[in-house]
């Protein structure tokens, strides 16, 4: 095992959706460290376990002392930790306790560690298992801003970050909002839930209960039935005539209602299906046709449409 490898050239930040508990995920995170512990600066941000429990897992997994180590306990401040709260990070500080409403202090604290470690020759690894409780205590907007800045910083210093979130506790849309911030998203609970279909085509665009997802499913099932290119205006009329849920009221030839569906298909829904590899359009975006890949998800659409 060599320990003279320098820090990673560029940072990678991963979001891992998992329902597993802390002992399992923290052990997994530590097991992925291939070099000797001394090669790394490790920052643990957690709200789930007490500092004692975390230190015991770290001790057990690593066996020897990491190059640098920091632990930020994110909590409501009332939990008994048996350890002194520190107000700032100095070279000997291992534990900092931050109240979970105080997201700016959390950001500052993480940065103090990162600033201190940035110029040493250790590889920085960050474990962040506090997204679930932060989502419950601060607004999504605050969390989004916080993550945006933090992830930028992690990438900038070439560190590796792993962020864990239990998808069971949150709406799919909440998770969707933060997902684009990350380089990698692992463990998509939704895709597993519909039978672990191959991710080669974007079945994500077909799942869900929203009016838009229903509209996309209907459009695709219509195209699969037709098996020929369809004009977008004809497709719009068909959607309106069928009075699918996205429309709400029966169509009486009203121009505004037509425009709403037509432009929604033109600007949003059809491009989404194109990006997902399920339909193709002509150059003017006026003719729409399903792709061969669409046939592979036909059963999925039917299953979804059969639901009450």
Summarize as ranges the residues that interact with other proteins (CB under 8 A): 139-142, 144, 173-174, 176-177, 180, 210-212, 246, 260, 262-264, 266-268, 270-272, 275, 285-286
Residue among 160 and 216 whose Cβ is closer to other proteins: 216
For every residue of 234-303, DSSP letters joined together read HHHHHHHHHT-TTT-S---S-HHHHHHHHHHIIIIIHHHHHHTTSEEE-TTS-EEEE-HHHHHTHHHHHH
Residue among 156 and 286 whose Cβ is closer to other proteins: 286
Residue among 259 and 303 whose Cβ is closer to other proteins: 259
Pairing of strands 279-281, 12-17: unpaired
Q: How far apart are CA 15 and CA 46, in angstroms?
A: 15
Residue among 12 and 140 whose Cβ is closer to other proteins: 140
* Shortest CB 81 distance to other proteins, Å: 29
* Shortest CB 261 distance to other proteins, Å: 9
Collapsing DSSP to helix, strand or coil, 87 comes out as: coil
Q: Are 1 and 34 in contact (CB under 8 A)?
A: yes
**How many other C-beta atoms can be found within 10 angstroms of the C-beta atom of residue 225?**
9
* Shortest CB 215 distance to other proteins, Å: 9
* Shortest CB 272 distance to other proteins, Å: 6
Residue among 58 and 246 whose Cβ is closer to other proteins: 246
Give the DSSP H or E segment for 129: strand 123-129
Can you name the residues that pair with 289 across neighbouring β-strands? 280
Residue among 274 and 293 whose Cβ is closer to other proteins: 274
Can you name the residues that pair with 186 across neighbouring β-strands? 16
* Shortest CB 263 distance to other proteins, Å: 5
For every residue of 6-52, DSSP letters joined together read ---SS-EEEEEE----HHHHHHHHHHT--S-GGGEEEEEEESSS-HH
* Shortest CB 266 distance to other proteins, Å: 5
């Amino acid at each position: 095992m060599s320990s003279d490898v320098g820090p990673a050239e560029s940072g990678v930040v991963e979001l891992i959706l998992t329902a597993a508990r802390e002992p399992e995920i923290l052990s997994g995170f530590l097991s992925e460290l291939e070099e000797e512990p001394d090669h790394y600066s490790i920052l643990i941000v957690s709200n789930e376990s007490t500092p004692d429990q975390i230190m015991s897992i770290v001790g057990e997994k690593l066996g020897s002392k990491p190059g640098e180590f920091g632990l930020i306990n994110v909590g409501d401040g009332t939990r008994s930790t048996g350890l002194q709260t520190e107000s700032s990070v100095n070279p000997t500080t291992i534990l900092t306790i931050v109240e979970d409403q105080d997201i700016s202090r959390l950001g500052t604290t993480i940065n103090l560690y990162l600033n201190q470690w940035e110029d040493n020759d250790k590889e920085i690894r960050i474990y962040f298992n506090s997204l679930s409780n932060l989502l419950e205590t601060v607004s999504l907007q605050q969390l989004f801003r916080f993550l945006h800045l933090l992830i930028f910083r992690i990438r900038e210093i070439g560190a590796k970050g792993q962020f864990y979130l239990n998808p069971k506790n949150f709406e799919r849309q909440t998770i969707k909002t933060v997902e684009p911030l990350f380089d990698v998203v692992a463990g998509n609970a939704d895709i597993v839930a519909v039978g672990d279909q191959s991710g080669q085509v974007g079945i994500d665009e077909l799942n869900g209960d929203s009016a838009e997802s229903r509209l996309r499913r209907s459009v695709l099932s219509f195209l699969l039935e037709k098996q020929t290119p369809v004009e977008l205006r004809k497709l719009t009329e068909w959607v309106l005539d069928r009075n699918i849920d996205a429309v709400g009221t029966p169509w009486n030839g009203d121009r505004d209602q037509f425009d709403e569906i037509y432009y929604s298909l033109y600007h949003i829904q059809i491009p989404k299906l194109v990006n997902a590899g399920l339909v193709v359009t002509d150059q003017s975006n006026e003719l729409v046709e399903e792709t061969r890949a669409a046939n592979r998800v036909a059963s999925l659409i039917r299953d979804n449409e059969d639901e009450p």
